[in-house]
Amino acid sequence: RYNTKSFITIKIKTEFQKKMADSWLKDLQSQICKEFEILEKGRKKFVKRDWCKEDKKEGGGTSFMMLNGSIFEKVGVNKSTVSGKFKKKFRSKILGANKDGKYWASGISVVAHMKNPKIPAFHFNTRFIVTSKEWFGGGMDVTPSHEDKEEKLYVHDELKKVCLHNKKNYKNYKNWCDKYFYLPHRNEARGIGGIFFDYETQNWNNNFKFVRELGLTFIDISKSVIEKKKSLKWAKKDKNKQLIKRGRYVEFNLLYDRGTKFGLNTGGNTESILMSLPPQANWK
Protein backbone atom coordinates (compact mmCIF):
# COMPACT_ATOMS: atom_id res chain seq x y z
CA ARG A 1 0.00 0.00 0.00
CA TYR A 2 1.24 3.50 -0.82
CA ASN A 3 2.17 5.27 2.42
CA THR A 4 1.25 8.95 2.02
CA LYS A 5 2.51 9.91 5.47
CA SER A 6 5.92 8.38 4.83
CA PHE A 7 6.18 10.14 1.45
CA ILE A 8 5.38 13.53 3.00
CA THR A 9 7.93 12.96 5.78
CA ILE A 10 10.67 12.13 3.26
CA LYS A 11 9.80 15.16 1.14
CA ILE A 12 9.93 17.53 4.13
CA LYS A 13 13.26 16.04 5.18
CA THR A 14 14.71 16.48 1.69
CA GLU A 15 13.53 20.10 1.49
CA PHE A 16 15.20 20.79 4.84
CA GLN A 17 18.43 19.18 3.65
CA LYS A 18 18.39 21.25 0.47
CA LYS A 19 17.99 24.47 2.45
CA MET A 20 20.79 23.48 4.85
CA ALA A 21 23.23 22.62 2.06
CA ASP A 22 22.34 25.70 0.02
CA SER A 23 22.76 28.00 3.02
CA TRP A 24 26.16 26.56 3.89
CA LEU A 25 27.46 26.85 0.34
CA LYS A 26 26.42 30.49 0.22
CA ASP A 27 28.23 31.13 3.50
CA LEU A 28 31.33 29.28 2.27
CA GLN A 29 31.39 31.39 -0.88
CA SER A 30 31.38 34.51 1.28
CA GLN A 31 34.17 33.17 3.51
CA ILE A 32 36.43 32.28 0.58
CA CYS A 33 35.97 35.70 -1.04
CA LYS A 34 36.72 37.43 2.26
CA GLU A 35 39.91 35.43 2.90
CA PHE A 36 41.20 35.91 -0.66
CA GLU A 37 40.58 39.66 -0.51
CA ILE A 38 42.57 39.77 2.74
CA LEU A 39 45.48 38.14 0.90
CA GLU A 40 45.26 40.97 -1.65
CA LYS A 41 45.42 43.47 1.25
CA GLY A 42 42.54 45.51 -0.12
CA ARG A 43 44.24 46.27 -3.42
CA LYS A 44 41.73 44.18 -5.35
CA LYS A 45 38.09 43.23 -4.73
CA PHE A 46 35.80 40.60 -6.19
CA VAL A 47 33.26 41.70 -8.77
CA LYS A 48 29.83 40.15 -8.28
CA ARG A 49 27.61 38.98 -11.13
CA ASP A 50 24.20 37.31 -10.77
CA TRP A 51 22.66 35.14 -13.45
CA CYS A 52 19.41 33.23 -13.97
CA LYS A 53 18.45 30.29 -16.15
CA GLU A 54 16.19 31.05 -19.11
CA ASP A 55 13.27 29.89 -16.99
CA LYS A 56 13.84 31.96 -13.84
CA LYS A 57 11.84 29.45 -11.79
CA GLU A 58 14.70 27.00 -12.34
CA GLY A 59 17.14 29.18 -10.41
CA GLY A 60 20.57 30.56 -11.22
CA GLY A 61 23.73 31.57 -9.47
CA THR A 62 26.15 34.20 -8.25
CA SER A 63 29.68 34.52 -9.60
CA PHE A 64 32.50 36.42 -7.92
CA MET A 65 35.55 37.18 -10.06
CA MET A 66 38.85 38.90 -9.28
CA LEU A 67 41.36 39.74 -12.01
CA ASN A 68 44.91 41.07 -12.15
CA GLY A 69 45.62 41.14 -8.44
CA SER A 70 49.04 41.09 -6.82
CA ILE A 71 48.40 37.47 -5.77
CA PHE A 72 45.57 36.24 -7.99
CA GLU A 73 45.88 36.70 -11.71
CA LYS A 74 42.37 35.27 -12.01
CA VAL A 75 40.15 33.68 -9.38
CA GLY A 76 36.48 32.79 -9.59
CA VAL A 77 34.20 31.72 -6.75
CA ASN A 78 30.89 30.55 -8.19
CA LYS A 79 27.78 29.25 -6.47
CA SER A 80 24.60 28.09 -8.17
CA THR A 81 21.28 26.58 -7.17
CA VAL A 82 19.36 25.19 -10.11
CA SER A 83 16.59 22.77 -10.96
CA GLY A 84 14.91 21.45 -14.08
CA LYS A 85 14.98 18.38 -16.29
CA PHE A 86 18.01 16.64 -17.72
CA LYS A 87 18.16 16.15 -21.47
CA LYS A 88 17.33 12.58 -22.44
CA LYS A 89 20.84 11.81 -23.73
CA PHE A 90 22.35 13.05 -20.45
CA ARG A 91 20.07 11.19 -17.98
CA SER A 92 21.92 7.88 -18.20
CA LYS A 93 25.04 9.61 -16.85
CA ILE A 94 23.34 10.91 -13.69
CA LEU A 95 22.65 8.84 -10.60
CA GLY A 96 18.92 8.48 -9.94
CA ALA A 97 17.75 10.35 -13.02
CA ASN A 98 14.29 8.96 -13.81
CA LYS A 99 12.38 9.15 -17.07
CA ASP A 100 11.06 12.58 -16.11
CA GLY A 101 14.69 13.76 -15.72
CA LYS A 102 13.92 16.06 -12.78
CA TYR A 103 16.79 17.33 -10.65
CA TRP A 104 17.80 19.92 -8.08
CA ALA A 105 21.41 20.90 -7.50
CA SER A 106 23.36 23.36 -5.38
CA GLY A 107 27.11 23.68 -5.63
CA ILE A 108 30.16 25.87 -5.33
CA SER A 109 33.22 25.90 -7.58
CA VAL A 110 36.50 27.73 -7.00
CA VAL A 111 39.44 28.05 -9.39
CA ALA A 112 42.44 30.25 -8.62
CA HIS A 113 45.19 31.00 -11.14
CA MET A 114 48.11 32.77 -9.51
CA LYS A 115 50.27 35.65 -10.74
CA ASN A 116 53.46 34.21 -9.25
CA PRO A 117 54.27 31.03 -11.21
CA LYS A 118 55.92 29.53 -8.12
CA ILE A 119 52.45 29.33 -6.52
CA PRO A 120 50.22 26.49 -7.80
CA ALA A 121 46.71 26.81 -9.15
CA PHE A 122 43.96 25.73 -6.75
CA HIS A 123 40.64 24.06 -7.48
CA PHE A 124 37.83 23.18 -5.11
CA ASN A 125 34.19 22.25 -5.59
CA THR A 126 31.38 20.58 -3.73
CA ARG A 127 27.75 19.97 -4.54
CA PHE A 128 24.53 18.45 -3.27
CA ILE A 129 22.32 16.92 -5.97
CA VAL A 130 18.79 15.56 -5.71
CA THR A 131 17.16 13.33 -8.32
CA SER A 132 15.26 10.23 -7.23
CA LYS A 133 18.34 9.89 -5.04
CA GLU A 134 20.40 12.50 -3.22
CA TRP A 135 24.14 12.73 -2.82
CA PHE A 136 27.20 14.88 -2.18
CA GLY A 137 30.21 15.12 -4.44
CA GLY A 138 33.28 17.29 -4.85
CA GLY A 139 36.94 17.54 -4.03
CA MET A 140 40.08 19.63 -4.11
CA ASP A 141 43.22 19.42 -6.22
CA VAL A 142 46.38 21.46 -6.78
CA THR A 143 48.18 22.14 -10.06
CA PRO A 144 51.74 23.48 -9.77
CA SER A 145 54.02 24.32 -12.67
CA HIS A 146 57.12 23.92 -10.49
CA GLU A 147 57.87 20.81 -8.47
CA ASP A 148 57.80 21.15 -4.68
CA LYS A 149 57.83 17.83 -2.82
CA GLU A 150 57.35 19.47 0.57
CA GLU A 151 54.27 21.31 -0.66
CA LYS A 152 52.83 18.11 -2.11
CA LEU A 153 53.27 16.31 1.23
CA TYR A 154 51.63 19.20 3.10
CA VAL A 155 48.57 19.30 0.83
CA HIS A 156 47.99 15.55 1.03
CA ASP A 157 48.63 15.39 4.77
CA GLU A 158 45.96 18.04 5.39
CA LEU A 159 43.46 16.30 3.12
CA LYS A 160 44.22 12.98 4.77
CA LYS A 161 43.50 14.53 8.18
CA VAL A 162 40.06 15.84 7.18
CA CYS A 163 39.20 12.46 5.66
CA LEU A 164 40.30 10.47 8.69
CA HIS A 165 38.51 12.88 11.05
CA ASN A 166 35.28 12.20 9.14
CA LYS A 167 35.92 8.45 8.70
CA LYS A 168 36.31 8.81 4.96
CA ASN A 169 38.63 6.64 2.88
CA TYR A 170 41.44 9.04 1.96
CA LYS A 171 43.24 6.43 -0.17
CA ASN A 172 40.16 5.80 -2.32
CA TYR A 173 39.47 9.53 -2.68
CA LYS A 174 43.11 10.20 -3.61
CA ASN A 175 43.13 7.41 -6.19
CA TRP A 176 39.83 8.65 -7.60
CA CYS A 177 41.33 12.13 -7.94
CA ASP A 178 44.49 10.82 -9.62
CA LYS A 179 42.40 8.86 -12.10
CA TYR A 180 39.96 11.70 -12.75
CA PHE A 181 42.43 14.59 -13.18
CA TYR A 182 44.41 12.80 -15.85
CA LEU A 183 44.94 13.67 -19.50
CA PRO A 184 44.97 10.38 -21.41
CA HIS A 185 45.82 12.05 -24.72
CA ARG A 186 49.07 13.27 -23.13
CA ASN A 187 49.57 10.39 -20.73
CA GLU A 188 50.12 12.73 -17.80
CA ALA A 189 48.45 13.98 -14.62
CA ARG A 190 47.06 17.51 -14.51
CA GLY A 191 48.79 18.28 -11.23
CA ILE A 192 49.75 16.75 -7.86
CA GLY A 193 46.19 15.58 -7.21
CA GLY A 194 44.18 15.85 -4.02
CA ILE A 195 40.91 14.11 -3.30
CA PHE A 196 37.77 13.56 -5.36
CA PHE A 197 34.49 11.91 -4.43
CA ASP A 198 30.97 11.54 -5.75
CA TYR A 199 27.67 9.76 -5.09
CA GLU A 200 28.01 9.95 -1.28
CA THR A 201 24.47 8.82 -0.49
CA GLN A 202 24.85 7.24 2.97
CA ASN A 203 24.37 9.17 6.22
CA TRP A 204 23.48 12.70 5.12
CA ASN A 205 24.53 14.33 8.40
CA ASN A 206 28.03 12.85 8.29
CA ASN A 207 28.47 13.72 4.62
CA PHE A 208 27.30 17.28 5.20
CA LYS A 209 29.78 17.64 8.07
CA PHE A 210 32.56 16.32 5.84
CA VAL A 211 31.93 18.74 2.95
CA ARG A 212 31.77 21.64 5.41
CA GLU A 213 35.12 20.72 6.93
CA LEU A 214 36.64 20.14 3.49
CA GLY A 215 35.59 23.64 2.44
CA LEU A 216 37.35 25.15 5.47
CA THR A 217 40.39 22.94 4.86
CA PHE A 218 40.58 24.28 1.30
CA ILE A 219 40.76 27.82 2.69
CA ASP A 220 43.49 26.83 5.17
CA ILE A 221 45.61 24.98 2.60
CA SER A 222 45.42 27.66 -0.08
CA LYS A 223 46.17 30.48 2.39
CA SER A 224 49.12 28.61 3.87
CA VAL A 225 50.71 27.85 0.50
CA ILE A 226 50.14 31.39 -0.80
CA GLU A 227 51.56 33.05 2.33
CA LYS A 228 54.66 30.88 2.12
CA LYS A 229 55.35 31.56 -1.55
CA LYS A 230 53.91 34.96 -2.38
CA SER A 231 57.27 36.75 -2.08
CA LEU A 232 59.30 34.24 -4.09
CA LYS A 233 61.13 35.79 -7.03
CA TRP A 234 60.46 34.51 -10.52
CA ALA A 235 61.69 35.08 -14.05
CA LYS A 236 60.16 35.05 -17.52
CA LYS A 237 61.15 31.40 -18.02
CA ASP A 238 59.14 30.52 -14.89
CA LYS A 239 56.08 32.32 -16.26
CA ASN A 240 56.43 30.53 -19.59
CA LYS A 241 56.52 27.21 -17.76
CA GLN A 242 53.33 28.18 -15.91
CA LEU A 243 51.59 29.16 -19.14
CA ILE A 244 52.41 25.79 -20.72
CA LYS A 245 50.95 24.06 -17.67
CA ARG A 246 47.86 26.22 -17.97
CA GLY A 247 47.45 24.87 -21.48
CA ARG A 248 47.06 21.43 -19.94
CA TYR A 249 44.47 22.90 -17.57
CA VAL A 250 42.48 24.20 -20.52
CA GLU A 251 42.64 20.86 -22.29
CA PHE A 252 41.32 18.97 -19.27
CA ASN A 253 38.50 21.36 -18.50
CA LEU A 254 37.22 21.46 -22.07
CA LEU A 255 37.65 17.77 -22.87
CA TYR A 256 36.97 15.87 -19.65
CA ASP A 257 35.68 18.00 -16.79
CA ARG A 258 32.34 16.69 -15.48
CA GLY A 259 31.36 20.05 -14.01
CA THR A 260 31.73 21.71 -17.40
CA LYS A 261 29.58 19.05 -19.04
CA PHE A 262 26.98 19.20 -16.25
CA GLY A 263 26.68 22.98 -16.52
CA LEU A 264 26.38 23.02 -20.29
CA ASN A 265 23.78 20.24 -20.23
CA THR A 266 21.60 21.91 -17.60
CA GLY A 267 21.28 25.38 -19.09
CA GLY A 268 23.92 26.97 -16.88
CA ASN A 269 25.58 30.31 -17.51
CA THR A 270 28.37 29.87 -20.05
CA GLU A 271 30.63 32.57 -18.59
CA SER A 272 30.37 31.04 -15.14
CA ILE A 273 30.92 27.50 -16.43
CA LEU A 274 34.10 28.54 -18.26
CA MET A 275 35.32 30.63 -15.33
CA SER A 276 37.90 27.90 -14.67
CA LEU A 277 39.88 28.76 -17.80
CA PRO A 278 43.06 30.77 -17.13
CA PRO A 279 43.48 34.35 -18.41
CA GLN A 280 46.46 33.26 -20.49
CA ALA A 281 47.85 29.92 -21.64
CA ASN A 282 50.53 28.73 -24.08
CA TRP A 283 51.20 25.65 -26.16
CA LYS A 284 54.55 24.61 -27.56
pLDDT in tens, 149-189: 999 999 999 999 999 999 999 999 999 999 999 999 999 99
SS (H, E, C) the chain: CCCHHHHHHHHHHHHHHHHHHHHHHHHHHHHHHHHHHHHCCCCCCCEEEEEECCCHHHEEEEEEEEECCCCEEEEEEEEEEEEEECCHHHHCCCCCCCCCCEEEEEEEEEEEEECCCCCCEEEEEEEEEECCCEEEEEEEEEECCCCCHHHHHHHHHHHHHHHHHCCCCHHHHHHHHHHHCEECCCCEECCCEEEEEEEECCCHHHHHHHHHHHHHHHHHHHHHHHHHHCCCCCCHHHHHHHHHHHHHHHHHHHHCCHHHHHHHHCCCCHHHHHHHCCCCCCCC
Q: Is the pLDDT of residue 268 over 90?
A: no
Report which of residues 255 and 93 the model is more confident about: 255
pLDDT in tens, 197-214: 999 999 999 999 999 999
The catalytic site residues sit at 123
Q: Is the pLDDT of residue 8 over 70?
A: no
What number is the average pLDDT over the span 251-269? 89
pLDDT score recorded for residue 10: 67
Query: Can you name the residues that pair with 183 across neighbouring β-strands?
Result: 188
Q: Which segment of 1-10, 24-33, 230-239, 259-268 scores lowest on mean pLDDT?
A: 1-10
Q: Is the pLDDT of residue 267 over 60?
A: yes
pTM of full prediction above 0.75:
yes
Q: Is the pLDDT of residue 92 over 90?
A: no
Q: Is the pLDDT of residue 133 over 80?
A: yes
pLDDT score recorded for residue 116: 98
Residue 108's CB is within 10 A of a number of other CB atoms, namely 22
